[in-house]
Structure 1
Amino acid sequence: MEFVTRMGKPLPQSVLKSAERAKSDPVSRREFLAVASAFGASSATAYAMLGMARPAQAQTQPALEKGGTVRMQMEVRALKDPRTYDWPQIANFTRGWLEYLAIWENDGTFTPALLESWEINDSATEYMLHVRKGVTWNDGSAFTAQDVARNIEGWCDKTIEGNSMTGRFATLIDDATGKARAGAIEVLDPHTVKLTLPKSDITLIPGMADYPAAITPEGFDPENMLQNPVGTGPYLPESLDVGIKGVLVKNPDHNWWGTEVFGGPYIDRLEYIDYGTDPLTWIEAAEAGEIDVLYSLGGDYIDIMNALDGWVENEIASAATIVIRPNQLAEVNGKRPYADRRVRKALQLAVDNAVLLELGYAGRGILAANHHVGPMHPEYAPVGLPETDPAAAKALMEEAGMGSYEHELISIDDAWRKDTTDAVAAQLRDAGILVKRTILPGTTFWNDWTSYPFSSTNWNARPLGVQIWALAYRSGEAWNEFGYANPAFDALVSEALATADVEARREIMAKGEKMLQDDGVTIQPYWRSLYNHTREGLVGAGHHIGFEYHPARMAWLA
């Protein structure tokens, strides 16, 4: 049987090879689905390559109502240029009218959205993007390949402060100009864009599906996006009160392209309601009938919600995690305490990741190994769990001249992140290392999250491990909160991005994983299973692997 892309062209040999391994390894199946669909295979084809039928989509099974309101507990954040989005909650609000080229699904596949299909050559140096026909902006103008090209050019603009999309599209960027390479983005016709890369990069489609990749119209002004919400999606913003409530309403004047493809939109109104960071407050709102969906819930609070009548638990295993990291560039009293590798290694040696998983997340996940690549990633290489030795940690801290130094460990004030960071501080103290704990409210914490000298941060899942490295650990990237700048590691990232064959990439990743461990870059203790709860009768609002919520997919059962 020949396996081909959506456009009928043969899939690369590297993808066919990885299918054989995934057939016998259930852990890697979701990741294979991500790789196959990123190379242009339809979801049905990707499942067929595993000898499996694709599970039926929830929307096609029950009868669904048209209309109604969904009320969802979620932080309500201020809007800004999508390229600078640093939390998915912002994108969940603007997703009502600002859509994406592709959608990352819970099974690992990528569903074409504003793109109808795509193809990648065997070496991943040429991408052919086929723009969906018949799509219009909600002002009536046609959506074309020029819109796609313009957005990709914007993603490559390093002059935009905080533009994390440059990390996802670095291969297309000219280092001399800080913008897209000449000739790299070419509009072939009104519905075709060709990307020509100077070297291989397998991550561009996953990058297009990430939440800062919202597609904006020509002349887009982030300062005026509420007052002039031009987009391709089926909803419009009715109101946004930061920290309180954000409301989306169905746009009755827009002929949405997705109805024929996906069904919907179903609900008339989606309210995001901010109850702060205390999960008990969320649960009280659920008991009082004030909400229909919880954004995400962890730890023992899951059991409390499971005891409530009329609510359904939704679970998805993921590569979501937390990092407790020293910032190597941060100055404290004129010095950079975490520039010294011995200090960073001492912090790691003092901490048992298994304790953090149990105390911080009630054991609802799997252990990680301080290098931010896990067994759910196709290129994961097992290099061993980190050593725990409190006595050696104390001795190494003394050797670095930091035995009497008090480390200030900062976290947000919510449940699992606070609890995990508390457990780190307790173990450091048990090892004789001085620690001051500082707990900040969310409104304060997020203002400066990349710059704290020593703090914890949650990270969402990404389909590929090398994606995470390119975003978070490569020198100079907007989201590199570790202050890590290692040319040898950067070279490994570039090599891994350019390696389409999973087995070959795994060998490269093993070197990088060990390098991150040896350099003491972070304590990255566990991978989270994600949970949320929905009111009985509500579909399309279960937890997404990347914390995405799609208003057009939400519906009440008839």
Structure 2
Amino acid sequence: MTFKTRTGKPMPQVIVDQAPKSGTDDVSRREFLAIASAFGATAATAYGMLGMAAPAQAAGHAKMGGTVRIQQEVRALKDPRTYDWSQIANFSRGWLEYLVTYENDGTFKPSLLESWEISDDAKTYTLNVRKGVTWNNGDELTAEDIARNIAGWCEKEVEGNSMAGRFGTLIDADTGKAVDGGIVVVDSHTVQLNLPKPDISLIPGMADYPAAIVHSSHNPDDMLTNPIGTGPYLPESLEVGVKAVMVRNENHTWWNAGNGAWIDRLEYIDYGTDPAAWVAAAESEEIDGTYSVDGEFIDLIGTLDGWVQNDVVTMSTILIRPNQLAEVDGMKPYADARVRRALSMAVDNNVLLELGYDGRGAVAANHHVGPAHPEYADIGMPKHDPAGAKALMEEAGMGDFEHELISIDDAWRKNTTDAVAAQLRDAGIKVKRTILPGSTFWNDWAKYPFSSTNWNHRPLGVQIWALAYRSGEAWNEMGWSNAEFDAILEEALATPDVEQRRALMAKGEAIIQSEGVTIQPYWRSLSNHSVEGLEGMAHHISFELRPAEMHWT
């Protein structure tokens, strides 16, 4: 039997060969669904290759109308390419849509793209733009729009443009822009990407939250007053740290009308970083849903009458990382690998999971690739040796140095970082703990010498490495640069075969772990809550809230 992509082209043989047999575990099935759908198979086709039926997506019981109020941090809007928090995208998601969406089952679904094809060597991408889509100012969505957005993603010189990390393969190293001939408008609704080398990660990159598609007139400074997009809602107001409101756009015919955009109004309400305030808001019926809740507060809200708990297992995590480029008192303490290794050796990740996250997850191995990533290689856990850590710190001449460990003031990130500090002190390493409010912390989150930061789930391990570990990337908060690792990553990005890629990942994982690049202690199970009768609020694996899918029953 020949399996085909959305456009009828046969699936690459490497994908067909990797279809797991019946009886395999959920992780194997998830791996295959992610790979097959990224290469262009519909969800139905990918599930069919597993001998399974795709999950039903119908919401025929949805009622039109109503308001939904969600507890979520409210942040300022900015150029979507520079979005650094999901909360920003969750607001603009009302009117700015994406080419592709990533689903909790691991599949990628077409949105503003109707379909796509990837050549067997992963060097040619054919993107078929959905026909019949209009911007809310009446303009037609065309291939020119998509090509322009992709070219913008490739503008490496734009400060904070993390999309350049996702599309690095398409960028000319000399110009910092897309390679000549790399983005070709074939016709009014077809774009072809011609890569100088293979890259399997572009479709997953298109689904990430900074990849919102903007109009040719887009100006980050007037996103609120001139909100041109293809989605069904419009922003009504935004007050940073207080509330953001969107309403249905009654003057725009949405391309997916009938399959979503049921509610009239959505309010994101900011209650700060103290989960106790979220519990109080739920108890007093001030909100209908929560963004994401951690620790004991999961149970506190989950046991309230009329509330439903929504759970998902993810590769979301926390990093407690030394910044190798940061200067402290005229020196760069974390440029020395011995110092970094000592910090990692002093810490037991099992303890961090228990004390920092109430054990609600799985222990990780300090290299930021996990079991839900198709190319994950199990290289074992890092060594825990407090006495050895102290000796190594002394060897580096840093035995008397006081490390300032910084975190935000919320629950799980603060608690995890506290547990790191306690174990470092137990090992005889001096630590000063600094806890900052969110309004201060996020101003310089990537620049602190030694601090903790949360990271979202990404579908592929190579995606995370390209964003956070490759030399010179905007989100490389470790300040790490390693030519051997970069070469391994480049080869992995160009390797469609998952088993061959896994062998490469094992080498990269070992380098990250052995150099003490970061303490990455656990993978998070995530939970949020919604009141009974509100659908479309299941916790997304990548922290997405989708206004068009919310509805009352």
TM-score by length of 1: 0.98
2:421 and 2:466 map into 1 onto residues whose CA distance is 29
Does residue 20 of structure 2 align to residue 24 of structure 1?
Answer: no
3-state DSSP of counterpart to 1:180: coil
Q: What amino acid does structure 1 have at the position aligned with 2:33? A: L
Q: Which runs of structure 2 are paired with 1:85-96 in the superposition (5 Å)?
A: 85-96=83-94
Residue 450 in structure 1 maps to residue 442 in structure 2: no
Distance 1:414 1:477 in 2: 27
**Residue in 2 aligned with 1:307?**
303
- Corresponding residue of 1:473: 469
2:408 to 405, 412, 418: 412
Aligned to 1:223: 221
Render the CA deviation track for 1:235-270: whole Å, top value 9, x for unaligned: 00000000000000000000000125xx12100000
Equivalent residue letter for 1:457? T
Partner of 1:259: helix, strand, or coil? coil
CA contact (8 A) 1:22 1:28 kept: no
Structure 2 Cα separation of the partners of residues 466 and 21 of structure 1: 25
* Offset at residue 282 of structure 1 (A): 0.3
Q: Which deviations, in whole Å up to 9, do the C-alpha atoms of 1:392-427 show, x marking residues without a partner?
A: 011111111111110000000011000000000000
Q: CA deviation at 1:20?
A: 2.6
SS at the partner of 2:18? helix
Measure the CA separation in 2 of the matches of 1:179 and 1:518: 34
Give 1:469's aligned amino acid. W
SS of aligned partner of 1:432 = coil
Cα deviation code 1:266-288 (max 9, x no counterpart)? 00000000000000000100000
Asked if the contact 1:70–1:270 (Cα under 8 Å) also holds between the matched residues in 2, the reply is yes
Q: Report the alpha carbon displacement of residue 22 of structure 1 after superposing the two structures with TM.
A: 8.3
Partner of 1:280: 276
Q: Which position in structure 1 is the counterpart of 2:393?
A: 397
CA distance in 2, matches of 1:463, 1:258: 25
Letter in 2 for 1:374: G
Instruction: Look up the match of 2:460.
Output: 464
Distance 1:241 1:555 in 2: 25
Match of 1:388 in 2: 384
- Structure 1 residue 493: Cα displacement: 0.6
What secondary structure does 1:439 align onto? strand
CA contact (8 A) 2:349 2:364 kept: yes
Matching residue's letter, 2:498: V
Counterpart in the other structure of 2:112 = 114
Letter in 1 for 2:294: G
Secondary structure of the residue aligned to 2:518 is coil
Alpha-carbon distance in 2 for matches of 1:18, 1:462: 21
Name the aligned partner's letter for residue 325 of structure 1: R
Match of 1:124 in 2: 122
CA distance in 2, matches of 1:443, 1:352: 30
The answer to whether the 8 A contact 1:97-1:235 is kept is: yes
Give % identity. 69
1:236 aligns with 2:234: yes
Match of 1:496 in 2: 492
Q: Which amino acid aligns with 1:341?
A: A
1:116 Cα offset (Å): 0.3
Partner of 1:2: 2
Distance 1:162 1:105 in 2: 26
Q: 1:118-157 to 2 correspondence within 5 Å?
A: 118-157=116-155
Q: Letter of the aligned partner of 2:505 in structure 1?
A: M
- Residue 213 of structure 1 is matched in structure 2 by 211
Which residue pairs with 2:480 in the alignment?
484
Tell me, what secondary structure is at the counterpart of 1:308?
Answer: coil
Distance 1:254 1:548 in 2: 23
Query: Counterpart amino acid of 1:399?
Result: E
Instruction: Say which of 546, 552, 557 aligns to 2:548.
Output: 552
Paired AA for residue 2 in structure 1: T
- In the alignment, the residues of structure 1 paired with residue 341 and residue 157 of structure 2 have an alpha-carbon distance, to the nearest angstrom, of 35
Alignment deviations for residues 521-553 of structure 1 (CA, whole Å, 9 cap, x no partner): 000000001100000000001110010111010
The letter of the residue matching 1:98 is L
Runs of 4+ displaced beyond 4 Å: none
> 1:82 maps to what in 2?
80
Instruction: Specify the alignment match of 2:62 in structure 1.
Output: 64
Gapped regions of structure 1 (runs ≥ 5): none
Query: In the aligned structure 2, how far is the partner of 1:226 from the partner of 1:297?
Result: 29
Map 1:220-369 onto structure 2 (within 5 A): 220-260=218-258, 263-369=259-365
| Partner residue, 2:436 | 440
Q: Map Cα deviations across residues 183-217 of structure 1 (whole Å, 9 max, x no partner).
A: 00000100100000011000000000000000000
Q: Return the alpha-carbon distance in structure 1 between the equivalents of residues 25 and 483 of structure 2.
A: 34
RMSD: 0.9
Structure 2 distance, partners of 1:294, 1:182, is 46
For the residues of structure 2 that align with 1:337 and 1:17, how far apart are their CA atoms? 49
How many Å separate the matches in 2 of 1:422 and 1:52? 45
The 2-side partners of 1:441 and 1:16 are apart by 50
Partner amino acid, structure 2, of 1:402: M
Q: Secondary structure at the residue paired with 2:20?
A: helix
- 1:295 is displaced (CA, Å) by 0.1
Runs of 5+ unmatched residues, structure 2: none
Letter matched to residue 457 of structure 2: A
For 1:11, the equivalent position in structure 2 comes to 11
Q: How far apart, in 1, do the equivalents of 2:360 and 2:270 lie?
A: 25
What code does the residue aligned with 1:112 have?
P
What is the deviation of 1:307? 1.6
Does the 8 A contact of 2:245 with 2:266 survive in 1?
Answer: yes
| Secondary structure of 2:257 counterpart | helix
Task: Spell out, residue by residue over 1:487-521, the C-alpha distance to the aligned partner (whole angstroms, 9 max, x if none).
Answer: 10000110000000000000000000000011110
Flag the 1:22–1:93 CA change in 2: closer, same or farther, 3 A: farther
SS at 1:8 equivalent: coil
Show the counterpart of 1:428: 424
Question: How far apart, in 2, do the equivalents of 1:478 and 1:126 lie?
Answer: 26
Partner of residue 532, structure 1: 528
**Aligned AA for 2:14?**
S
CA distance in 1, matches of 2:316, 2:50: 25
Shift of 1:28: 2.5
User: What is the DSSP-based 3-state SS (H/G/I as helix, E as strand, rest coil) of the residue aligned with 1:466?
Assistant: helix
Q: Is the 8 A contact 1:22 1:29 kept in 2?
A: no
Partner of 1:258, secondary structure, is coil
Q: Does 1:376 align with 2:372?
A: yes
Equivalent residue, structure 2, for 1:513: 509
For each residue in 1:377-397, what CA deviation from the matched residue of structure 2 results, as whole angstroms up to 9, or x when unmatched?
Answer: 010000001111110011111
Post-superposition CA distance 1:60-108 (Å, at most 9, x none): 3x51110000000000001110000000000000010011001101111
Letter in 2 for 1:296: S
How many positions carry a matched residue from both structures?
553
Pick the aligned partner of 1:194 from 180, 192, 195. Answer: 192
Check conservation: 1:312, 1:535, Cα contact below 8 A.
yes
Separation (CA, whole Å) in 2 of partners of 1:486 and 1:97: 40
Q: Which position in structure 2 is the counterpart of 1:73?
A: 71
**3-state SS of paired residue (2:19):** helix
For 2:41, the equivalent position in structure 1 comes to 41
TM-score by length of 2: 0.99
- Residue 158 of structure 1 deviates from its aligned partner by 1.1
Shift of 1:25: 3.3
CA shift for structure 1 position 30: 1.6
- Structure 1 22/467 Cα, relative in aligned 2: closer, same or farther at 3 Å? farther
Listed one character per residue, the Cα deviations across residues 97-147 of structure 1 (whole Å, up to 9, x for unaligned) are 011001101111111000000000101000000000000000001000000
Q: Measure the CA separation in 2 of the matches of 1:264 and 1:496.
A: 38
Q: Is the 8 A contact 2:20 2:29 kept in 1?
A: no
CA contact (8 A) 1:379 1:502 kept: yes
